[in-house]
Chains A and B, each alone.
Chain A
Amino acid sequence: MRAGAGRVPGSPGRRAGRRRALALALLALATCAAPARPPGKPPATTAATADTTATTGTAPTVDAKDTVDAQDTVDITPGTCGTGWQHPRPGPQRFALRNGAAVPVDARLTDPRTGAVYGEVEGVAPGTTRPLRVRLGAGSYAFACLPEDGDAVTGPVVRLGGHAAPGPAARPVTRAELIPATLDYQRWTARQLAGLARATAALRTAIDHGDRAAARRAWLTAHLGYARLGGAYGAFGAAGRAVDGTTAGLPGGVHDPRFTGFHRLEYGLWHGEDGPALRRCAARLDADVRALGRTWDQTRPAPEALVRRVQEIPEDTLHLELAGRTDYGSGTGRATAGAQLDATERVLEPLVPLLRTRYPGLAELRRRLARTRRDLEHAQHRRLDADFGDLVERLAEVAAVCAVRRAA
Chain B
Amino acid sequence: MSPVPRRGFLHGVAAAALPAALPDPVPAPLPAPLAGRPPGPPPFHGRHQAAVLTPPARCTAFTALDVTAGNRAELAELLRTLTERARLLTAGRAPDPAGITAPPADSGLLGPDLAPRTPVSLTLSLGASLFDHRFGLAARAPRRLRAMPVFPDDDLDPAWCHGDLGLQLCADSPDIVLHALRDLTRHTRGAMQIRWRLDGFTAPPRPSGTPRNLFGFKDGIANPEVRDARLMDRLVWAGPHSGEPAWADGGSYLVVRLIRMRLEFWDRIPLAEQERILGRQRDSGAPLDGDREDDPPHYARDPKGEVIALDSHIRLANPRTPAGGDQRLLRRSYNYDRGVDAAGELDAGMLFCCYQQDPERQFAAVQRRLAGEPLTDYITPFGGGYFFALPGVRDGADWFGRGLVHPT
- Chain A residues proximal to chain B, CB less than 8 Å: 2-4, 66, 68, 92, 94, 117-120, 131, 133-135, 167-170, 172, 358-359, 368, 371, 382-383, 385-387, 389-393, 396-397, 400-401, 403, 405
Q: Are B68 and A382 in contact (CB under 8 A)?
A: yes
- Say yes or no: B190 contacts A387, CB within 8 Å: yes
B102, A400: Cβ atoms under 8 Å?
Answer: yes
Instruction: List, sorted by A's number, 21 A–B pairs whose CB atoms are closer than 8 Å.
Output: A66-B93, A92-B96, A94-B112, A117-B99, A117-B100, A120-B99, A133-B97, A134-B97, A135-B97, A167-B96, A168-B99, A170-B100, A368-B190, A383-B193, A390-B189, A391-B190, A393-B190, A397-B101, A397-B103, A400-B102, A405-B100
Contact status B98-A167, CB under 8 Å:
yes
* B67 nearest CB neighbor, chain A only: A386
Pick the contact of A118: B99, B102, B191, B192 (CB < 8 A): B99
**A3-B104, A131-B112, A371-B70 known; A382+B99 contact, CB < 8 A:** no
Residues facing A in B109-166 (CB within 8 A) are 112-113
Q: Check if A403 sits within 8 Å of B100, measured CB to CB.
A: yes
Asked if B373 is at the interface (CB within 8 A of a chain A CB), the reply is no
**Interface SS of A by simple majority:** mixed
For residue B182, CB closer than 8 A to chain A, the reply is no
A389 touches B189 (CB 8 A): yes
B233 at the interface (CB under 8 A from A): no
Interface of B, helix, strand, loop or mixed by DSSP: loop
Q: Chain B residue with minimal CB distance to A385?
A: B193
Q: In the bound complex, what is the Cα–Cα distance between A383 and B67 (angstroms)? A: 8
A318 to chain B, nearest CB (A): 11
Count how many chain B residues have C-beta atoms less than 8 Å from C-beta atoms of the other chain: 23
B183 at the interface (CB under 8 A from A): no
Q: Are A386 and B97 in contact (CB under 8 A)?
A: no
Q: Which residues of B contact A359 (CB under 8 A)?
A: 101
Question: Residues of A contacting B94 with CB < 8 Å?
Answer: 68, 92
Contact partners of B192 in chain A: CB under 8 A: 386
Closest A-B pairs by Cβ, 6 of them: A390-B190, A386-B68, A133-B97, A386-B193, A168-B101, A397-B102
Q: Would you call B100 and A401 a contact (CB within 8 A)?
A: yes
State which of B70, B100, B189, B195 has its C-beta within 8 Å of the C-beta of A400: B100
| Interface of chain B residues 183 through 213 with chain A (CB within 8 A) | 186, 189-193, 195
Cβ distance B97 to chain A, nearest Cβ, rounded Å: 4
| Contacts A66-B93, A92-B96, A131-B112; A382 near B101 (Cβ below 8 A) | no
With A117-B100, A389-B190, A397-B102 in contact, is A382–B195 under 8 Å at CB?
yes
**Contacts of B337 on A, CB cut-off 8 Å?**
none
Q: Is B66 in contact with chain A by the CB < 8 A criterion? A: yes
